[in-house]
Amino acid sequence: MPILELDQVSKSFGAVPAAEAVSFAVEPGEALGIIGPNGAGKSTLFNLITGNIGVDSGRVLFGGEDVTRAPPMRRCLAGIGRTFQIPQPFQRLTVFENVLTAAMFGNRSSQAEVSGDCARILVDTGLVAHANVPAGKLTLLQRKRLELARALATGPKVLLLDEIAGGLTEAECGALVDLVRAINARGTAIVWIEHVLHALTSVVNRLVVLDFGRVIATGEPAAIMASRQVREIYLGIEV
Amino acid sequence: MSVDALSSFRVTTGTRASGAFALVAAALIVIAFAAPLFVSRSVIQNLFFILTMLALAQNWNLLAGYAGLVSVGQQAFVGIGAYAMFGAVILGGMDPVAAIAVGGVAAVLLAIPTAFFVFRLYGAYFAIGTWVIAEVARLVVAQWKSLGGGTGTSLPRDATRSIWGQEAVAALFGVRGPHAADIVSYWLALVLVIATIGFIYRLLRSRQGLGLAAVRDNQDAARSVGVDALRLKTLVYLAAAFGTGLVGALIYVQKARISPDAAFSVVDWTAYVIFIVVIGGIGTIEGPIVGIIVLFLLQNALSDYGSWYLLLLGLIGIAVMLFAPRGLWGFFTDRTGIELFPVRRNLIVAPGATPDKGGPHG
Ligand SMILES: Nc1ncnc2c1ncn2[C@@H]1O[C@H](COP(=O)(O)OP(=O)(O)OP(=O)(O)O)[C@@H](O)[C@H]1O
Ligand SMILES: [Mg+2]
């Protein structure tokens, strides 16, 4: 049974359709990539999965249960973790407190129970040196790492990553890929929206291509990247 | 080799300044309780004003500064608390001191149904909603004929002459009845302030406090990491209503005379309170303490200027907002790093004992 399933999900903003009858499933432990041009509706899809935005029609299933009407908090507790494309840190809380909040509320645990995991996550994401800095003082790249750290701390079964590799150096990107692989190897399913395709394709085993809110292709990364339609959309973007 | 993460780090909250401050605060509390021994009745009355306004300010700050609920209708809870106390004394024959608790409960009973209304509103609409509720409450209370209707009423003589503890204080301190009643009220205000600050400080350091800070900073993100934002805000709204209702009742035990216009005054119970919090520093426990001291000094310095006084207060408020947006305490703490009520949870990782990178969790 898929851990996450979208069934004919649609959403439009006024006259702009951001998702049109989108259906796909994510198996437990899978790593799925989502690509598509700017404004294709990728981030909107994440918001529909997490409940930050409500669907117009269609269903979202998590672990076989219909969560279409569940609030974001419920879905987080069920096991959906997400990063925001534009980082949304708790500005006045420190980096450690940001992660601690996610760990305590996302797992319904006490501070003592999760502090060790939080420290570990800060080490893994390279933020431990900034643990006691208010999140509002971080650079954009550090904020993106904090997004990842915070999502990880909720102990997700499915981790939704929205463009976390942009702007990194070669070495940083390699470290990020290793980290996402390690998370995936521990059994967490990954859904990753990414424009940095070489990073994405070195982690995921399946790609979904979105354009104007519609799924236009699904399949193995190599086959997808070879298809003419996708090449046309990505003309000018380095593969 | 992987280092045991649990032995290589710890989480701390206190600072050196806060440790020293705890001792000073304990001494101050002892002195404050003993104050009626060596200060005059008018000083006790001034201190009563300071303490009750501070308690109101802490409650408003809890709402606006921590839960992001900017209310301009807290006079609803002052008024309801005060009127419930009057009702319990006049109609129920209760002792005024005991009736203060009735005031707190009445405020919560008003807050429960109104929460459903105001929590559907955001930002400025929330503020207006709270004000509308306060106005409606004032108009309804003004219809309560047995409590004097629109013109108000006084506490009955025999009730004010023998409130709890009054006789004992009068005998002990060798003072007359009204003076003894003021001392009892003052002590109650002191207890209320200590309890309010203690409650808020504990809340901020608790799990709920962390969730509340997250909601204040970014509600969408907070909900996405499992925080029940609505539940936390409701908790704070009800707690602030309870605290505000208690203070309202206590203020009117001391005044012993009530009218709807006075008890539901937006200027006295909300505008001044907002001034106190904004001047002192919103979102900190220290801020309202600084703010009430500033307001009290300004009131004394400017009391001869009549209506110019309010204008000056407004100008000072605007100046502080422009030049020290986090208030006087925020200005101070940004430069010195001193916090008297620290809540930040610091992660201290022992040098050299950093957990191995890339190792499995736990
Ligand atoms: N909250 C919103 N209100 C109105 N329109 C929106 C909203 N969110 C997204 N849109 C619109 O929906 C469309 C899809 O946006 P979305 O952010 O999902 O695209 P995306 O694929 O993530 O793009 P990018 O690669 O630039 O991040 C765009 O036309 C966008 O302007
Ligand atoms: Mg996007």
Q: CB distance from A178 to chain B under 8 Å?
A: yes
Query: Nearest residue of A to residue B346 by CA position?
Result: A132
Average pLDDT, chain A: 92
A90 vs B218, B346, B361: nearest CB: B218
- pLDDT score recorded for residue B352: 55
Question: Which residue out of B225, B282, B339, B361 would a mutagenesis test of the A interface target, given it has the greatest number of A Cβ atoms within 10 Å?
Answer: B225
List the domain boundaries for chain B.
15-265
Ligand 1, residue A46: give the atom nearest the CA.
18
Fold for the domain defined by B15-265 = ABC transporter involved in vitamin B12 uptake, BtuC (1.10.3470)
Confidence of residue A228 (pLDDT cuts 50, 70, 90): confident
Query: Nearest residue of B to residue A181 by CA position?
Result: B358
C-alpha angle with apex B179: B175 to B183, nearest 5 degrees? 105
A105 vs B5, B225, B349: nearest CB: B225
Name the DSSP letter for residue A18.
E
Residue A53 CA, ligand 1 centroid: distance in Å: 12
- pLDDT score recorded for residue A235: 57
CA quadruple A224, A226, A227, A229: dihedral sign: positive
CB within 8 Å of B265: residues ≥ 6 apart: B75
- The count of CB pairs under 8 A between chains A and B is 132
Helix (H, G, I), strand (E, B) or coil at B144: coil
74-93 in chain A: CB under 8 A from chain B: 76-77, 82, 84, 88-93
Model ipTM value: 0.91
Burial classification of residue B189, based on how many CB atoms lie within 10 Å of its CB (0-12 exposed, 13-18 middle, 19 or more buried): buried
Residue A46 CA, ligand 2 centroid: distance in Å: 9
Distance, CA of B200 to CA of B22 (rounded, Å): 16
Distance, CA of B152 to CA of B259 (rounded, Å): 4
**Mind telling me how many Å the CA of B70 is from chain A's nearest CA?**
19
What string of pLDDT tens digits covers the 362 residues of chain B? 344 444 578 888 877 778 888 899 999 999 999 999 999 999 999 999 999 999 999 999 999 999 989 999 999 999 999 999 999 999 999 999 999 999 999 999 999 999 988 888 888 899 999 999 999 999 999 998 888 888 899 898 888 888 888 888 888 888 888 899 999 999 999 999 999 999 999 999 999 999 999 999 999 999 999 999 999 999 999 999 999 999 999 999 999 999 999 999 999 999 999 999 999 999 999 999 999 999 999 988 887 887 788 888 888 889 988 998 899 999 999 899 888 999 999 998 876 555 444 433 33
Q: A36 in ligand 1 pocket by Cβ < 6 Å?
A: yes
Task: Tell me how many helices (H) and strands (E) chain B has.
Answer: 18, 4
Contact criterion met (CB < 8 Å) for A102 and B210: no
Q: CB distance from B352 to chain A under 8 Å?
A: no
Distance, CA of B260 to CA of B138 (rounded, Å): 6
CB within 8 Å of B309: residues ≥ 6 apart: B299, B302, B303
Query: Nearest residue of A to residue B351 by CA position?
Result: A129
B78-101 residues labelled b (16+ CB within 10 A) or e (exposed): bbbbbbbbbbbbbeeebbbbebbb
Which of B160, B131, B13 shows the shortest CA–CA distance to A115? B13
Residue A215 CA, ligand 2 centroid: distance in Å: 15
Output the CA–CA distances (angstroms, integers) from residue A166 to A200, B203, B299, in the order listed: 11, 39, 57
- pLDDT score recorded for residue A2: 93
Contact criterion met (CB < 8 Å) for A119 and B355: yes
Output the CA–CA distances (angstroms, integers) from residue B68 to B51, B160, B167, B195, B233, in the order listed: 24, 39, 44, 22, 9
Distance, CA of B308 to CA of B302 (rounded, Å): 8
Question: Which residue out of A53, A76, A97 would a mutagenesis test of the B interface target, given it has the greatest number of B Cβ atoms within 10 Å?
Answer: A97
Whether the CB-CB separation of B13 and B22 falls below 8 Å is answered with no
Query: What does residue A185 show for φ and ψ, rounded to 5 degrees?
Result: -65, -25
Q: A43 in ligand 1 pocket by Cβ < 6 Å?
A: yes
Helix (H, G, I), strand (E, B) or coil at A70: coil
Among A42, A49, A144, A194, the mutation site with the greatest number of ligand 1 atoms within 8 A of its Cβ is A42
**How does DSSP assign B198-214, residue by residue?**
HHHHHHHHSHHHHHHHH
Helix (H, G, I), strand (E, B) or coil at B354: coil
Q: A16 in ligand 1 pocket by Cβ < 6 Å?
A: yes
- pLDDT score recorded for residue B251: 97
Residue type, B272: Y
pLDDT for A57-115, tens place per residue?
Answer: 999 999 999 999 999 999 999 999 999 999 999 999 999 999 999 999 999 999 999 99
Domains of chain A and CATH, by start: 1-79+156-239 (3.40.50.300), 88-153 (no CATH)
A114-129 residues labelled b (16+ CB within 10 A) or e (exposed): bbbbbbbbbbbbbbbe
Distance, CA of B163 to CA of B146 (rounded, Å): 22
Q: CB distance from B216 to chain A under 8 Å?
A: yes
